[in-house]
């Protein structure tokens, strides 16, 4: 079967010609409704792939699948490696805790919480500025700069002396690492169609959880250095893993191409990775899926007016609000797993190895449920199922008798940490519903700011005076699960209602009126009558 301009993002109709002898409709899509002439969806001249734009080009399904596999190998796999580097430096503090880091520094649980709160505050405050810089310089330039910078700070944690140095390094790490995730989401959107993005993002977060598994084994070996050298194992952990991520960051500077049509370099080869035909297929399949991606080029920054328009896009606010709460029920248990396992009587090395089953379960559920959400074309159903999954597990942690065995506490904790992680589903949904590059750029940052804000909330639910069973904290988590379920249903209803509104207005127009609307409208992105929200 051949792919032409009638196999993209619009609901299909028979091909007919308008008064300008122009093809109408792009067919079978989810982003825009059918009915407008193709000239209204052409990219701007400055778009980096405009020289490969061709509304007449056709390709086979076999060609496209082969090309997507090549993109996975060339682009997605390297993005996963970069996320490995992020999580290695961001998450190794949990392994450090198992090596008596808090006791070595004279800290209590609350001081650790304050440090993590500072980290998340700085992380979220850097999201939007980082995304603005990335849009101006290009993710291929900005992301490697971020990686090398944060790896230096991560290594400096090996020289922590007390509260002030702990808080300072946490703040700097947050400021530099903040923005990495939305920067990568923006970068991947240059290469993949909207329906392909969720599963690629699930690979992205699979790298995150795989890092936790790998780092647990790395920690098992590195933390033994305390016994050999006398220098605390957690100090070796920060120093060695920071050096590894610096190396990955340097390689990324040379490896990342700016776009599908700009892969030639001395490092990547003078002819680049793709043939002219492959470049044409990449550009046109992405634009046919979502023509809004051709509104800006990849080195074009946002003006203040464009920033304001994106910030005031009320149709994305429900997703932002949900970002504040959906992950909280599992986060405190995950953050305190190593501390709680130590308090239950497991030693340092048993503790690190006992985290592995939780991360394996997390990985399997992440990929499976992300795939299911696109297969059944129902994202919010899976998002709600994740909350229903967590409900009995949080309840069991709240109701378990104090006399229960350590393994009785361990089992629900592991299952809770391994819950269906729906971040890839939600962020891909938000990216798709943004409707334009400018809105997508800002929305990715704002959504991730909300998720980081949820981590700040999570960091202060389990308190020192509530340990080791955190009964008060678990009651709070139960309330949040109930809120998440109700709000998820509300979001589904809202986007269905908005599509019904838009469909009524669009379907009432004749074909000529639709073309006139597309020619004269001042509405952009998801405010256009031909736009349809995914849900």
From CA 384, how far away is CA 422, in angstroms rounded? 9
Q: Shortest CA distance to 488 belongs to which of 405, 331, 393, 380?
A: 380
From CA 282, how far away is CA 114, in angstroms rounded? 46
190 to 71, 326, 534: CA distances (angstroms): 11, 28, 19
Helix (H, G, I), strand (E, B) or coil at 531: strand
Q: How far is CA 184 from the centre of its chain?
A: 8
CB 455 within 8 A of CB 120: yes
**DSSP classification of residue 356:** H
The vertex-23 CA angle with 22 and 27, nearest 5°, equals 155
Q: Alpha helices of 74-161 — where are they, by DSSP H?
A: 77-91, 93-98, 101-105, 109-137, 139-156
CATH class of the domain at 302-534: mainly alpha
CB 39 within 8 A of CB 56: no
CB 136 within 8 A of CB 299: yes
Helix (H, G, I), strand (E, B) or coil at 190: coil
Give start-end residues of each CATH 1.20.1250.20 domain in the chain.
56-301, 302-534
Bond preceding residue 301 cis, omega within 30 of 0: no
Q: Which two tokens stand for residue 208?
A: 């995150």
**DSSP strands (E only) in 406-493:** none
**Residues in a beta bridge with 37:** 24
pLDDT of residue 32: 61
The beta-carbon contacts of 508-515 under 8 Å, at least 24 apart in sequence, are: 509/35, 511/16, 511/18, 511/24, 511/35, 512/18, 512/19, 514/35, 514/36, 515/18, 515/36, 515/37, 515/40
Helix (H, G, I), strand (E, B) or coil at 160: coil
In this prediction the pTM is: 0.78
Q: Shortest CA distance to 452 belongs to which of 73, 173, 187, 64?
A: 173
From CA 368, how far away is CA 356, in angstroms rounded? 19
How many CA atoms lie less than 13 Å away from 422 in the CB half-sphere? 29
CB 28 within 8 A of CB 7: yes
From CA 374, how far away is CA 425, in angstroms rounded? 9
From CA 417, how far away is CA 332, in angstroms rounded? 9
Contact partners, residue 490, CB within 8 Å, separation at least 6 = 318
From CA 179, how far away is CA 92, in angstroms rounded? 19
Helix (H, G, I), strand (E, B) or coil at 293: helix
List per-residue pLDDT tens for the chain, 535 residues long.
444 433 333 333 333 334 333 333 343 345 665 655 566 678 878 888 888 998 888 999 899 999 999 999 999 999 999 988 888 888 788 788 878 888 888 888 788 888 888 998 898 888 888 988 998 899 999 999 999 999 999 999 989 888 899 999 999 999 999 889 888 888 998 899 888 888 888 888 788 778 877 887 888 788 888 777 778 888 888 999 899 999 999 999 999 999 999 999 999 998 999 999 999 999 999 888 887 788 878 887 777 777 787 788 899 999 999 999 999 998 888 877 777 777 777 777 777 788 888 888 888 898 898 888 888 888 899 999 999 999 999 999 888 887 778 788 888 888 998 899 888 888 888 888 887 777 877 888 888 888 878 888 887 888 878 777 788 888 999 999 999 999 999 999 999 999 999 888 888 888 888 888 877 878 777 888 888 888 8
Helix (H, G, I), strand (E, B) or coil at 265: strand
Quote the CATH superfamily of domain 56-301. MFS general substrate transporter like domains (1.20.1250.20)
From CA 339, how far away is CA 525, in angstroms rounded? 47
249-259 burial by CB neighbour count: b if 16+ within 10 A, else e? Answer: bebbeebbbbb
Query: Which residue carries 């704002």 as its tokens?
Result: 446
């Amino acid at each position: 079967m051949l792919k032409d301009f009638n196999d993209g993002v619009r609901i299909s109709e028979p091909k007919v010609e308008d008064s300008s002898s122009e093809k109408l409709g792009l067919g079978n899509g989810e982003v825009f409704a059918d009915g407008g002439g193709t000239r209204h969806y052409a990219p701007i001249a400055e778009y980096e792939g405009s020289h490969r734009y061709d509304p007449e080009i056709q390709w086979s399904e076999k060609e496209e699948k082969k090309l997507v596999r090549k993109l996975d190998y060339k682009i997605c796999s390297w993005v996963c490696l970069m996320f490995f580097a992020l999580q290695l430096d961001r998450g190794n503090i949990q392994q450090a805790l198992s090596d008596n880091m808090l006791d070595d520094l004279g800290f209590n649980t609350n001081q650790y919480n304050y440090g993590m709160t500072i980290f998340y505050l700085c992380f979220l405050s850097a999201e939007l500025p980082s995304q603005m810089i990335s849009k101006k310089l290009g993710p291929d330039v900005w992301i490697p700069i971020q990686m090398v910078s944060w790896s230096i700070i991560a290594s400096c944690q090996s020289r922590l002396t007390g509260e002030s140095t702990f808080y300072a390094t946490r703040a700097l790490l947050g400021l530099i690492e903040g923005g990495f995730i939305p920067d990568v989401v923006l970068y991947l959107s240059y290469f993949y169609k909207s329906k392909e993005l969720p599963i690629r993002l699930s690979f992205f977060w699979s790298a995150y959880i795989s890092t936790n598994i790998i780092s647990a084994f790395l920690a098992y070996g590195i933390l033994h250095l305390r016994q050999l050298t006398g220098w605390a194992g957690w100090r070796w952990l920060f120093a060695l893993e920071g050096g590894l991520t610096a190396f990955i960051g340097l390689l990324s500077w040379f490896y990342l191409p700016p776009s599908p049509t700009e892969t030639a370099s001395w490092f990547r080869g003078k002819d680049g990775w793709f043939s002219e035909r492959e470049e044409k297929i990449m550009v046109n399949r992405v634009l046919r899926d979502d023509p809004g991606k051709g509104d800006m080029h990849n080195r074009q920054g946002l003006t203040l007016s464009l920033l304001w328009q994106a910030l005031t896009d009320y149709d994305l606010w429900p997703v932002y609000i949900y970002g504040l709460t959906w992950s909280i029920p599992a986060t405190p248990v995950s953050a305190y797993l190593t501390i709680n396992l130590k308090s239950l009587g497991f030693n340092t090395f048993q503790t690190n190895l006992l985290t592995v089953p939780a991360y394996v379960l997390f990985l399997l559920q992440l990929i499976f449920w992300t795939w299911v959400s696109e297969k059944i074309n129902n994202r919010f159903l899976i998002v709600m199922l994740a909350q229903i999954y967590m409900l009995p597990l949080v309840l069991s942690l709240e109701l378990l008798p104090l006399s229960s065995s350590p393994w009785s506490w361990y089992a629900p904790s592991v299952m809770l940490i391994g819950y269906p992680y729906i971040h890839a589903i939600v962020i891909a949904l938000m990216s798709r519903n943004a409707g334009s590059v400018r809105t997508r750029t800002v929305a990715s940052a704002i959504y991730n700011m909300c998720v980081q804000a949820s981590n700040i909330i999570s960091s202060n639910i389990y308190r020192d005076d509530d340990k080791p069973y955190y009964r008060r904290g678990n009651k709070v988590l139960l309330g949040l699960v109930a809120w998440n379920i109700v709000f998820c249903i509300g979001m589904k209803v809202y986007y269905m209602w908005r599509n019904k509104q838009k469909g009524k207005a669009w379907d009432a127009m004749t074909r000529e009126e639709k073309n006139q609307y597309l020619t004269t409208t001042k509405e952009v992105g998801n405010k256009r009558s031909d736009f349809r929200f995914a849900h």
